[in-house]
Structure 1
Amino acid sequence: MSPKKAVSGPSIPGAVWLRPRPPRRGQHGLTRERIAAEVVSQLDQAGPAGLNLRSIAAALDVHPTTLYWHVSARDDLLDLAVDAVFAELPLPSQPSDDWLADVRAFMHNLRAALLTHPWSGALASSRPLLGPEALARSEFVYAALARAGFTGDELAASAAAVSNLVIGSVATETSWQNGDESSARQAVHEHLHANAETYPAMADLSTESGRWGTQFSYSADLLLAGLAQKAPSSASSPGTNSQTPRTT
């Protein structure tokens, strides 16, 4: 008898993580992990446009009905792939004694992992990150911020600021890099310069301004300085120093 389609709830982004995981069936050794690895490979080669259940089944040398035992829609494939990217982030077995350093390392590691797979930033920005790998790393960030004294809404908002800065910046960076970024930057610069009376601050920027790595590092430092300033335990936080900005 053919496997039944793996549906016990709505087919929506993130639903694959909310359904009971099916028992292993057949002799193909097919697992979510194998499926995810193939999806990541295909997305790396061609992006999301051509991805579908049949192409994944063919690559894994299984009948589509076998694949349906594990996933029920294209959305499931995307969720598996995004979580596989999060699995590439180092996850320390124990936190350090410096919560700020832990959050900083997470931000830079997440950026590096997402940039390795240029499609992943845009997907991560548009899907609930409910997979076990993403949740494990979110828990690490939440725990670091909780050690700083953040609780409740402030904890949730701080963690969201951390992940949103990384994911949003990567999604923007990779969208620019789909074409000729150098020519695009030059065109933008010329447009702003030609309209300097309307956009004087931006017109003063050179074409070298806003390089992705430098801009991200500065943005991350600004956010971390703000978190250190706001942290209830900031007076004793190892990551703070006399250069942390003050609020008036």
Structure 2
Amino acid sequence: MPRDTLTQKQIVRAAVAVLDAEGVGGLNMRRLGAQLGAAATAMYWHVKSKDDLVVLAADHVWDEIELPDLDEVGWRAAAAALASGAHDMLGRHFWMVTAMSTHLIHGPNKARYDDRCLAVYEAAGFSGPDADQAAATVLMFVIGAAQGEAAELAWRARLRRAGADEEQELRETIARIGEIAQRYPRLRARSTPSVEAAPSLPDEATFEFGLGAILDGLEARLANGNDRSQPESPAGR
């Protein structure tokens, strides 16, 4: 594909496909050029660098999240929908967890999501910096909840690039984890005996439990009047 027929949007979409398959470590301009049928140098007419492309691709996938309408649902349902939407998006794009730890992700789609999050927590009753803190707390939980699955998928992508046997490596890793767990009674009782018994995806109930606990805590802060943006009474100083 000649460089003058390429668009940045095409390059970003192709980059997302490569990242979904191979992770951040598998993305390079030569690989991307092969995906698009263009010379690697043609990419640089539309993006400055691989790092710039990772940021563009990361912002692109934030647009996948459906934003709840605050006129139709309450703040807590909206907060849960935003958190679940982000969690699902991170599950579809395992490389995002890595990208968010090494790049400053920004762009119109990420800003769109962040702005709606702030609107939700302001609607709940948080104001000033507390709305920012509430939104950040929930997002940190979402990223942490997605990290386990993302780490496994990134690990598998590395093995594929190296030509290793994924299943053999997984069996050996599970066996090592089991051996270590035998030293500790609580881990021993919960250790996974085999690859077949090992869950490949995180427990959705665990995510729902954690998200509910955080929203309970935020709701309790509101009920107790713990909004730091509100002026303290003389008696409370």
CA gap 1:152/1:188 in 2 versus in 1, 3 angstroms: farther
Deviation at 1:128, TM superposition (A): 2.3
Paired residues for 1:202-241 under 5 Å = 205=190, 207=192, 211-231=202-222
Alignment of 1:35 with 2:11, yes or no, is yes
Measure how far apart 1:103 and its partner are: 0.8
Percent identical among aligned pairs is 27
Q: Is the 8 A contact 2:70 2:78 kept in 1?
A: no
Structure 2 residue aligned with 1:117? 93
Q: Is the 8 A contact 1:125 1:167 kept in 2?
A: no
Q: Distance in 2 between matches of 1:187 and 1:58?
A: 39
Choose the corresponding residue for 2:141, options 165, 173, 183. Answer: 165
In 2, the alpha carbon distance for the partners of 1:204 and 1:149 equals: 44
The residue aligned with 2:21 is: 45
| More helix, by proportion | 2
The residue aligned with 1:55 is: 31
Deviations 1:181-200 (A, max 9, x none): 6875665455334233xxx5
Aligned to 2:183: 194
Residue 138 of structure 1 aligns with an amino acid whose one-letter code is D
Root-mean-square deviation (CA, aligned residues, Å) is 3.0
Amino acid at match of 2:84: H
> 1:98-146 CA distances to partner (integer Å, 9 max, x unpaired)?
0110110111111111111222222134432311111101111111001
1:127-168 Cα deviation digits (max 9, x unpaired): 323111111011111110011121222222111111111122
Comparing 68-77 and 86-95, the one that deviates more: 86-95
1:9 aligned residue: none
Following TM superposition, by how much is the alpha carbon of 1:67 offset from its aligned partner in structure 2, in angstroms? 2.8
* Shift in CA distance, 44/123, structure 1 to aligned 2, threshold 3 Å: same
How far apart, CA to CA, are the structure 1 residues paired with 2:101 and 2:130? 21
| C-alpha contact (below 8 Å) 2:70/2:120 kept by paired residues | no
State the shift of 1:80 in Å: 1.3
Letter in 2 for 1:194: R
AA matched with 2:180: H
Structure 2, gaps ≥5 residues long:
157-166, 193-197, 226-237
- CA pair 123-136 structure 1, distance change in 2 beyond 3 A: same
Q: Which residue of 2 aligns with 1:22?
A: none
The alpha-carbon distance between structure 1 residues 42 and 101, as it changes in their structure 2 partners (threshold 3 A), is same
Provide the aligned length of Structure 1 versus Structure 2.
204
What is the one-letter code of the residue matched to 1:133?
N
* Amino acid of the structure 1 residue aligned with 2:183: A
Q: Is the 8 A contact 2:79 2:120 kept in 1?
A: yes
Q: Contact 1:129–1:135 (CA<8 Å) still a contact in 2?
A: no
Deviation at 1:225, TM superposition (A): 0.8
The structure-2 alpha-carbon separation of the partners of 1:131 and 1:82, relative to structure 1 and needing over 3 Å to count, comes to same
Deviation at 1:85, TM superposition (A): 1.5
Q: Distance in 2 between matches of 1:187 and 1:211?
A: 20
Aligned residue identity for 2:63: A
Q: Which residue pairs with 1:6 in the alignment? A: none
TM-score norm. by structure 1 comes to 0.69
TM superposition score normalised by structure 2? 0.72
Gaps of 5+ in 1: 1-25, 235-248
CA offset at residue 220 of structure 1? Answer: 0.8
